[in-house]
Structure 1
């Protein structure tokens, strides 16, 4: 039988989804170019676990799963159950009277019926009519035969008996459409517990950002789901805050994942600033046309006394009303980090007066019109302290002298030499002495924060602090990072804290506060020595604990609120060339192997198109 539907172009929009033709066979349908076959489930296992139908939803082919549930009136259910118990019990007694051996299936059914009767009598559940139907779609008849075999094999592995809807193929297809119509009526009676366990939508995949569109993936592709056939997309800017924390031991793939997320965020129009402790992001910055600032190299300087001057759309330059006050407060934080300890009340009072005198000597006062003048330098502040007659000021000047005149003065002995106006800003700490790395992180964070908090240029931004334990070791540095984590959301920005030293983050209240203010949390492979702290902090299950101890490189757990998913980070060949830190791969890589600029953009775009 062949049914044709000729429709006009002026008909309603809904007719656009009507097939041009439907060819009905005994066990299949041909709907346009699709070949379709339907099945009804007639046999079920005796015992199941929650979500046991999930493999049907993760089937790699196109498979429609339809569940039809109809409640049974309690009075009708009780009468039917009583009659069923009577039949089963009479059958058992008849077998015993005639000396026949007991049927194990009848014995099991009788026990189940008695147990169900007790639960219904106590009001612990209800009975439902449950129908489960499957429809498989392919592009050709030969593929349909193979898919039918695969689907029936999958059903058999779940102890399900799938029967084809012979001579009712059209009714079977309609039954699996989202219309709420059951034209097959091959149902079984389920109680509440069995029905809840049969609910198949316990997917390990993260929910889509738009509940009205299950096919539209948003955010950044992290990798593929280890618990299903799906991909893991996550949009940080759709959460209550945009911060994330990435914890993993050395070699777990932490920096690889950070670079992958940063690179893919750039394609979404997100500005990214990265604090790079080991100069691992230089190739990435050069490839995408970003700015790479090697702090500690000759001629590279950052002036901590620079005022945040912004250029408005009309060309005029301005600064926040409290810019001078904030610079004074930042100087307190910077000196605390440089000295490795918090300043006392007397030292803060003396330093505040010296900062004010230093700005006044440069012609900068409370009058905002003077803020565009050349800012003083850290050596000017040290000279103002040394010129004071206060003993505390002399002590501060002596402690500050190594950073203005001594071995560590290279970063502070001149005005800022680098621009930070870029879609990707990478500040490398590799050339800095270990004593200056916390200060380098703090100065870079301050530079990024001044850009983030600019009212005239609001756009989504990410600030990545790799190896954040360097700054978390200092109380003042940890407080600055914590304040930034709390305030970034208000400026449409997200803070990424990545570290391999879990103890420095979880061992302090400020570190735990930074984690608590991160809506996105990524846990990679953990060391046995730190796994107990991770389990307590993130309330992990025993299975998640074992997964983090045995996870491979690039495998991790993405936790976002109540959603948790195990994933494996994947990158295209072009992306891998830029973000890999494998020494063997880097040694074998030639200059021609590393794409740069326009060539990389075109190659990466081609990879994305092919993946889609």
Structure 2
């Protein structure tokens, strides 16, 4: 054993000289001591015949301190071809000689020959390249006894991975230096690998959620139980819908905005129903359209046929059916049969008075208003119609008439349309959500499904609390896939979703389910609905903001949502993190182009 002493001086410019600090480095045959700690380097000399995605993940996720060093050196194509040709010739000669001497067939040689042949063919076609790869592990411990135990554990782990690890005997100093972030390989123990094998060992390749490479896959965050990442493609599943359940303050809106932003990187268009104006900065930054329902001068006419311009026959019928749902939400419950009959007659009369009939040539005429429908109801001899007209007075001539008193002022166009409900009174939130959803869905169903589209409903409990609204949401969840659309329902009130048959049906029609921190009062109901284990229940009860559990079928994975600095500035709702703007305005948002810049910043 020999000892080297490294003298270091910690002194800033202008400070008086201090005594040098000595650090002992003692090198032995099978270990090395650096100061008060010990380390031993293992060399990987044997690899499995085939490796899968994230095959180095168990080593990277080892609970102790292990430095994993992967040295990759490309081999020139001509040199690689010559080596593979000579290798195949050796294997062929060995097989022929064995056959001539009557020896049994060597299956290992046959497998190696086949691998070399496939690698040479891929190299000739330009599909792959050849690399010389060295893999070394440096295990650290506080004492010699702990080091021996840790080395045994690491070797047991590598054996389970079909990897053979041997100590770098009498070369521990070379091994320790090779594992430092210096890019120096003093051991030189290399093995030939092709491009797929090397790329699948990249640290960001996660075996937890192995998805096919897809332009619509979204980075959700980092795996909470390992060092891998969670990459998820909802558009490759049987259902494109997603449900996000979390209590207030769990980071639900933060994750929703991050998912929305990264989906738009892939060219997915989106529409958002935003109860608290939290998506305004993001919408402005990406050049989207912001519609603030309830603001002065902003009107939305539920009888408008303009959004159904591409419908061929049933635009008028669809408006009449939607008005049944809308008045059910406005009046606080489903309409009775006599009320439905009276409303149906009033709808036909109202449109006819405006010159609009079943003839599609009349659909471009100015549509009547809600006040015209109320007038038609009041003029009926049926007492049910008169009663409905009285109940509609707050929306036509009373306190809530600002939204309905004039023709529609804004058209929902653009790659991102955000419907803000913040300016609406609480009594109109459910009505505003339903009107925005109707406008969004009319645009989805009337356009050709040429690209995926996302519909995000934040605080969906506003609509789920109404039976008619829950039915409308259920119909959207059922029909979304046929139109290449994915419905994202986010709510902090799990009871409104899980305590009703329609809410459970909406969850059942969502292949992606994200659970964040839950309250003790709701955890048992959620555990029953999603078949959570006791450990998963405790995880959700103690989760920090941003921690989540992704569920899809029998698959479960815990992750933590993580954003780059540019993304964080757009999705955060912490008022201390961005400049406060005057009332009625929004703080200036950074410009963002819809490419992979922010995602590259994160990586």
Q: TM-score normalised to the size of structure 1?
A: 0.68
Residues 166-177 of structure 1 mapped to structure 2, 5 A cutoff: 173=191
User: Quick check: 1:413 aligned with 2:409?
Assistant: no
User: Which residue in the other structure is 2:391 paired with?
Assistant: 399
Does the Cα contact within 8 Å between 2:68 and 2:137 map onto a contact in 1? Answer: no
Q: Secondary structure at the match of 1:208?
A: coil
Q: CA deviation at 1:438?
A: 0.5
The structural deviation recorded for 1:443 is 0.3
Distance change >3 Å, CA 594–CA 567, structure 1 → 2: farther
CA deviations 1:156-182 (Å, max 9, x no partner) are 335739435999x99994799999xxx
Query: Corresponding residue for 2:530?
Result: 538
The CA deviation at 1:306 is 1.2
Residue equivalent to 2:254 = 256
Aligned to 1:335: 327
- Give the corresponding residue for 2:599: 608
Secondary structure, in 3 states, of the residue corresponding to 2:235? helix
Q: 2:455 aligns with which of 429, 453, 463?
A: 463
Aligned to 1:195: none
1:246-325 equivalent positions in 2, closer than 5 A: 246-307=244-305, 309=307, 318-325=310-317
**Residues 176 and 156 (structure 1), Cα distance of their counterparts in 2 relative to 1, 3 Å cut:** farther
Name the TM-score, length of structure 2 as normaliser.
0.69
Q: How many residues align?
A: 456
Q: 1:429-448 counterparts in 2 under 5 A?
A: 429-448=421-440
Q: Tell me, what secondary structure is at the counterpart of 1:565?
A: strand
> Corresponding residue for 1:487?
479
CA contact 1:275–1:426 (8 Å) conserved in 2: yes
2:504 to 507, 512, 530: 512
Q: Alpha carbons of 1:140 and 1:328: their partners in 2 closer, same or farther (altered >3 Å)?
A: closer
- 1:157 equivalent among 136, 141, 153: 153
Aligned partners of 1:176, 1:275: CA distance in 2, in Å?
48
Q: Distance in 1 between matches of 2:57 and 2:334?
A: 56
When the two chains are superposed, the root-mean-square deviation of aligned CA atoms in Å is 3.6
Conserved 8 A contact 1:291-1:422: yes
Q: What's 2:100 paired with? A: none
1:209 counterpart residue number: 212
Deviation at 1:548, TM superposition (A): 0.4
* Deviation at residue 584 of structure 1 after TM alignment: 2.3
User: What does the per-residue CA deviation read over 1:233-255, in whole Å, with 9 as the maximum and x for residues that have no partner?
Assistant: 11111110110000000000000
Distance 1:427 1:530 in 2: 29
Q: Which residue in the other structure is 2:564 paired with? A: 572
Query: For residues 146 and 344 of structure 1, do their structure 2 counterparts lie closer, same or farther at Cα, with a shift above 3 Å needed?
Result: closer
SS at match of 1:601: coil
Give the match's secondary structure for 1:289: coil
Distance 2:581 2:427 in 1: 33
Work out the CA distance in 2 between the residues paired with 1:569 and 1:178: 28
Q: Deviations over 1:374-395 (max 9, x none)?
A: 1111111001111112211111
Distance 1:263 1:381 in 2: 40
Contact residue 218 and residue 233 of structure 1 kept, 8 A: no
Cα distance in 2 for residues equivalent to 1:558 and 1:474? 28
Instruction: Choose which of 304, 321, 345 in structure 1 pairs with 2:337.
Output: 345
Per the alignment, residue 346 of structure 2 pairs with 354
C-alpha displacement of 1:63: 6.4
Q: Shift in Å at residue 209 of structure 1?
A: 2.3
Deviations 1:505-560 (A, max 9, x none): 11111111111110100000000110000100000011111110111100000111
Change (3 A) 1:432 1:152: farther
Q: Alignment partner of 1:293: what SS?
A: strand
CA deviation profile, 1:47-67 (whole Å, cap 9, x unmatched): xxxxxx973364674669xxx
Shift, 1:582, TM fit: 1.3
Q: 143-152 vs 437-446, which deviates more?
A: 143-152
Indicate conservation of the 8 Å contact 1:307/1:375, yes or no.
yes
Q: Structure 2 vs 1, CA of residues 458 and 154 (structure 1 numbering), >3 Å: closer, same or farther? A: farther
Structure 1 stretches of 5 or more lacking a match?
Answer: 1-26, 28-35, 42-52, 65-138, 180-202, 211-215, 311-316
Does the aligned pair in 1 maintain the 2:283–2:418 contact within 8 Å?
yes
Given that 1:209 and 1:217 are in contact with CA atoms closer than 8 Å, whether structure 2 keeps it comes out as no
Partner of 1:547: 539
Secondary structure of 1:498's match? strand
Q: Is the 8 A contact 1:206 1:564 kept in 2?
A: no
Q: Please give the secondary structure, in 2, of the residue aligned with 1:364.
A: coil
**Is the CA contact 2:217–2:233 (under 8 Å) kept in the aligned structure 1?**
yes
In the TM superposition, what is the alpha-carbon distance from 1:154 to its structure 2 partner?
Answer: 5.9
Structure 2 counterpart of 1:32 = none
In the alignment, the residues of structure 1 paired with residue 136 and residue 381 of structure 2 have an alpha-carbon distance, to the nearest angstrom, of: 94
CA contact (8 A) 2:273 2:419 kept: yes
Q: What's the counterpart of residue 525 of structure 1?
A: 517
